[in-house]
Amino acid sequence: MSWPRSLALCVASGLLLALALPLAIPFVSLHELDPAGHLEWLAWVGLVPALFALQRAPGWKSAFALGLAAGLAYFYAAIWWVNHAMTSFGGVPLPTALAGLSLLVLYMAFHWALAFALARAIGARLRWPLWAVLPPVWVAAELSRNYLFTGFPWANLGYLQARHPLPSQLAALGGVYLVAALLVLVNGVVHALLEARLARRPVPWRVAGAGAAAVALSLGWGAVHLRQVRAAAAAAPKLKVGLVQGNVNQSVKNEMRQHGSFILGRFLPLTAEADRRGADLVAWPEASFPWLVSPELGTFELPTLRFPRLTHAHLLLGAVTSGTVVKEDGRRELVGGNSVFLAGPDLKVLGRYQKHHLVPFGEYVPLQEYLPFIRQVVPPMVPQVPGAQLRTLSYRGAEGEVRIAPMICFDAIFPEVSVALARQRPDLLVNPTNDAWYGYSSGPYQFLAIVRLRAIETMRAVARPAYAGVSALVLPTGELAPGAIDLGPVDPDLAPDPEEPARLLVGEVPRMSGETLYTRTGDVFAYACVAFTLAGLATLAMRRRERSAAPHPARAPGP
């Protein structure tokens, strides 16, 4: 196979898999193109063209390049909207934003390249079939992307099944990584069957049987688990939750000092309405309170803010804190924290959680001590610090203690965060977020897909109040409760109505207290895949040493 054809096949695979993601393209539609997820079936075969190219790669270096090509196509299609966030709301010049986007895509595509290269080296040298080698190697590479340089595990393959309830239930066993492994396995089996057909070799029925058995067992188990969780959720006590979505343009939010009263006017009336409708908990989005507050704030009942007196509901309110810390050299520095405060009906603060996983270049600047010019690519901001611990918040409700596990925005894309919180036995996960940064794009819908997997992994409902974009109540099965708010961010450059009013979603979610295998064992499956990959590389190294140490046959003496 020629090199241009191999590259074309890999780019085709990347684009096919990107079509399985939740997508919203502004010049086509301001909302999700395929909300039912019909195109998610492409994930089961989308990798096959690239596998034909990989099978014929002459070595691991060529395989690395092919994986990089496939990854670049996939991730550019997946996260092109990052450029919009930087230019429209971050004040970053377009060339700088495109360079930043390309570096991020290159970082993400590197892990696809790594998976291709390792699978090619291990499979070819040890004569192991590609369909058996690639799934664990792929999972090992995705686990690496969860942690390398603080991690950015966006658009992992497992999220391509978030809208299909049966295969996505595998997340309760091995997290999003197990779903990804199944998809790669099926792609590998389909490739093996087509390869045999094209080469006019006998059909590898054992391979076909293994693939069919894996799919049948996965979907069968998913159906049983789905039915059990639905029954448990129906029998569980309920919590009535209100989500307030302000639908404020991010450029207005950035000028919070001038527009603070306007922003509060979007949230306060609907908060009172949710209380009137009997909500036990009213959740505001990330950083929705329009002014900086002290991390030691004791009450939101301040006369100048005109908060309504609540009769029943507790309030989970997102706010940015500001305070001073003393550095080692004695200097005092102003630092901020992205927090949520839990307040009672009297607006007295009962607890605070501070965001654990900060956004690179959004909330902090990595490597700025060594590369000071990087500081120029983000707008000025108070230096943010992460929260010291993952912790739940609780209050005493009419039916006893209610425990809430906040995952502020970026926290929710890391499965180990939700697992750590789930082990504290909360009744509900809450994901306050600000999707206004994404504009009208795929970003809010892809983030929602990630959160749906968090619900399945932990067997907990997730309340997701968004500042703009998609607010939703996610059931423990990963399904959406009726009434999700999908208005898209208010963006004057794209929106037909830049004055979209605020919205309120009130609904009931089950209070679940059980465990899944994933919350008990964490990423054991993913680390087992890492062990498999390392064992394959170790075996390669041992055989190479054995060959180099073997005596060479003596040469016959010359005449």
Other CB atoms within a 10 A radius of the CB of residue 235 amount to: 8
| CA 160 vs CA 155, 452, 549: distances in Å | 8, 11, 47
Characterise 390 by phi-psi region: left (phi > 0), alpha (psi -120 to 50), beta (else): beta
- DSSP-assigned letter for residue 230: H
Active site residues: 286, 355, 409
Give the length of the chain.
Answer: 559
- What is the phi/psi pair of residue 508, to 5°? -105, 140
Q: Do 470 and 422 contact (CB within 8 A), yes or no?
A: no
Taking alpha carbons only, the member of 514, 426, 435, 432 closest to residue 477 is: 514
* Cα atoms in the Cβ-side hemisphere of radius 13 Å centred on 252: 21
- DSSP-assigned letter for residue 233: H
Angstrom distance (rounded) from CA 18 to CA 212? 25
Q: Do 100 and 361 contact (CB within 8 A), yes or no?
A: yes
| CA 201 vs CA 186, 193, 195, 196: distances in Å | 20, 10, 8, 5
Taking alpha carbons only, the member of 323, 345, 317, 319 closest to residue 336 is: 323
Angstrom distance (rounded) from CA 502 to CA 487? 10
- What is the phi/psi pair of residue 59, to 5°? -170, 180
Q: Do 509 and 484 contact (CB within 8 A), yes or no?
A: no
Give Cβ neighbours of residue 510 (< 8 Å, ≥ 6 apart): 232, 233, 234, 236, 237, 238, 239, 461, 475, 476
Angstrom distance (rounded) from CA 157 to CA 14? 11
